[in-house]
């Protein structure tokens, strides 16, 4: 008889989207299991670029330090075009990332296997391993409405097949009953096909070869991101960890054979291999030379598809994420980044529902927010149809910093983006990630990046800009005292929901010489480390002008509400506790 088990969340697929999901849920104390059909993790190749916003997200889980240590940083991009003398010449150099609010103003490149290893090692420390090699063979979802509405029920039945069970008498079949399933099983997703979810979009005519190698070359920009447009075709350079580089080489349809049934390149019939790709690149590089120094690390050929799934979940019980629900050209370098940010969006929502802290309707916001972003990415692709043009357009949107979640007006879905008081933070847009900035801790004058004080720990952060409450600021001190009373009363916001929902961080527009952290009411200083000053550090090297960065008037103040995934949900005035209660009542379950 097959073995049977129960789990809160079953994640199918251990690529970047699945690993992000599993590690985040495990950190949150969720009973999660993750399986993959591959007997071991990716060794080389695949996706390799991590955008500035994704680095911020990894940092919120404590995972960015290793990425920055092991990866290569791309700070500059160079452009080459046909020279009037034949061959190519450099026509410009510029910053790789142009978004002014980027905390990490560069991209990190590292092969996917090493990125996966960062997740795998952190999961191992938490006591979670990927079960492999295992494939799902059947998925059944209950049609009982009461069962589907009850977040503690197990309405999903998944049959698994263990590929390494070969000995006589061993049953290689297992049945898992899950509360939720996340299909992060790639562009040819079994979960998506089993659920009958259709992908909208098209295959483009662009065919690209990819080669990872250590080059021997006299090309002066080999360690910069490069866009090469030559009379012999187009080529891109992505410098990688160590001495490696990745070459993207544009091919013509006469070079490859496409399987009409699958829409994929038929590598058996296609005569182009890594040596032929390198030969095409050599022609684009002229008058410079490029050869391989040693073996080619990895290569592939693929057609670019631009598709988005018609829906990202079924009954908010089975979800798809990453390439399973959207595929893009690599022009904006967003495939893996969008995938990891999908499940980053889902982790906290699923955790709240499983804990009984939020209504199950909160999960509808996953598709609402992430499907729109996937559609925006494809629109970006189409608006920059020329590969090299998009490659050059690395502004806020394409580096992930410009992700903007909109308010919802759908009656069956809570609105977790509320714009009523947006004017109080003229430079911090509601629906976008909290801007990075360095503040000084009041207790000891130590400078801190605010994002590091807002980790992805499933808590909502109330970032309270109390204004200047220094000597003589009687009116502002009275307003702050009233806010503390409103927050702290027995029926107030902080007691209204489950303990552990909120964290408070208070930021004063008062210089360090004029304020003690103990001057604040206790509610606004739950710990000595939670009071910051908008002032420079002791040497004047960093910090200051934070109220200007967020567009907050120091005479007015504001409360910025930061979601567990680092995005701003709403803003209120210091007198706006009632607005906060109304906002949270739409999706959190009250205990009072």
Residues designated catalytic: 48, 240, 248, 330
Do the Cβ atoms of 284 and 146 come closer than 8 Å?
Answer: no
Length of the chain: 592
Alpha helix ranges (H) inside 196-309: 274-285
Instruction: Please give the Cα distance from 93 to 75 (Å, whole number).
Output: 11
Do the Cβ atoms of 583 and 561 come closer than 8 Å?
Answer: yes
CA distances from 142 to 139, 156, 160, 338, 451 (A): 10, 6, 18, 30, 41
Judge if the upstream peptide bond of residue 118 is cis by omega within 30 degrees of 0.
no
Instruction: Please give the Cα distance from 27 to 176 (Å, whole number).
Output: 22
User: 291: closest CA among 303, 274, 269?
Assistant: 274
Summary count for the chain: helices (H), strands (E): 14, 30
Which sign does the torsion angle of CA 184, 403, 433, 422 carry?
A: negative
Query: What is the Cα gyration radius of the chain?
Result: 26
Q: In the structure encoding, which two tokens stand for residue 439, read together?
A: 């503040």
β-pair partners for 561: 462, 570
Instruction: Please give the Cα distance from 573 to 190 (Å, whole number).
Output: 48
User: 221: closest CA among 96, 99, 129, 330?
Assistant: 96
CA distances from 401 to 56, 63, 71, 374, 451 (A): 9, 18, 20, 14, 14
Largest CA distance in the chain: 84
User: 401: closest CA among 68, 154, 99, 170?
Assistant: 99
User: 320: closest CA among 310, 330, 305, 333?
Assistant: 310
Instruction: Please give the Cα distance from 415 to 407 (Å, whole number).
Output: 6
* Beta-strand relationship, 76-82 and 225-230: parallel
């Amino acid at each position: 008889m097959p073995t049977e088990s129960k789990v809160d969340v079953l994640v199918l697929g251990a690529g970047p989207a699945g690993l992000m999901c599993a590690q985040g849920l495990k950190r949150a104390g969720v009973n999660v299991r993750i399986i993959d059909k591959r007997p071991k993790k990716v060794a080389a190749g695949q996706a390799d670029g991590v955008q500035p916003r994704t680095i911020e997200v990894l940092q919120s889980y404590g995972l960015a330090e290793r990425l920055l240590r092991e990866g290569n940083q791309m700070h500059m991009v160079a452009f080459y075009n046909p020279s009037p003398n034949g061959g190519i010449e450099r026509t410009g150099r510029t910053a790789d990332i142009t978004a002014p609010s980027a905390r990490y103003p560069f991209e990190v490149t590292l092969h996917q296997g090493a990125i996966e290893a960062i997740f795998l090692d952190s999961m191992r420390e938490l006591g979670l391993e990927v079960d492999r090699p295992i494939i799902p063979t059947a998925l059944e979802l209950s049609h009982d409405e009461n069962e589907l509405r009850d977040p503690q029920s197990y309405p999903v039945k998944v049959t698994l097949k263990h590929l390494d069970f070969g000995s006589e008498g061993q049953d290689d079949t297992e049945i898992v009953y899950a509360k939720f399933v996340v299909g992060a099983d790639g562009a040819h997703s079994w979960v998506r096909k089993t659920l009958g979810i259709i992908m909208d979009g098209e295959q483009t005519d662009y065919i690209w070869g990819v080669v990872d190698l250590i080059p021997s070359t006299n090309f002066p920009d080999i360690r910069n991101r490069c866009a090469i447009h030559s009379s012999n075709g187009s080529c891109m350079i992505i410098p990688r960890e160590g001495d490696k580089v990745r070459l993207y080489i544009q091919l013509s349809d006469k070079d490859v054979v496409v399987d009409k049934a699958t829409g994929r390149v038929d590598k058996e019939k296609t005569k182009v291999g890594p040596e032929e790709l390198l030969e095409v690149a050599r022609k684009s590089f002229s008058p410079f030379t490029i050869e391989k120094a040693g073996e080619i690390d990895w290569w592939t050929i693929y057609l670019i598809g631009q598709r988005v799934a018609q829906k990202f979940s079924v009954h908010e019980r089975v979800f798809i994420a990453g390439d399973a629900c959207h595929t893009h050209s690599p022009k904006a370098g967003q495939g893996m980044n969008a995938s990891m940010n999908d499940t980053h969006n889902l982790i906290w929502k699923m955790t709240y529902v499983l804990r009984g802290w939020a209504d199950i309707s909160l999960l509808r916001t996953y598709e609402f927010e992430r499907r729109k972003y996937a559609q925006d990415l494809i629109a970006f692709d189409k608006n920059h149809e020329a590969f090299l043009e998009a490659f050059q357009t690395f502004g806020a949107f394409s580096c992930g910093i410009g992700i903007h979640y909109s308010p919802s007006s759908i009656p069956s879905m809570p609105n977790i983006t509320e714009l009523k008081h947006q004017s109080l933070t003229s430079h911090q847009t509601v629906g976008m990630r909290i801007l990075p900035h360095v503040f000084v801790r009041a207790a000891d004058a130590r400078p801190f990046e605010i994002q590091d004080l807002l980790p992805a720990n499933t808590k909502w952060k109330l970032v309270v800009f109390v204004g200047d409450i220094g000597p003589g600021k009687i009116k502002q001190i009275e307003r702050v005292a009233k806010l503390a009373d409103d927050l702290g009363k027995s029926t107030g916001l902080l007691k209204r929901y489950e303990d552990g929902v909120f964290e408070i961080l208070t930021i004063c527009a008062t210089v360090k010489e004029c304020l003690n952290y103990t001057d604040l009411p206790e509610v606004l200083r739950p710990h000595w480390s939670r009071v910051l000053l908008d002032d420079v550090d002791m040497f004047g090297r960093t910090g200051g002008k934070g109220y200007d960065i967020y567009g907050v008037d120091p005479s007015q103040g504001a409360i910025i509400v930061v979601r567990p995934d680092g995005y701003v949900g709403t803003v209120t005035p210091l007198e706006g506790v009632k607005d906060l209660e109304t906002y949270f009542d739409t999706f959190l379950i009250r205990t009072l």
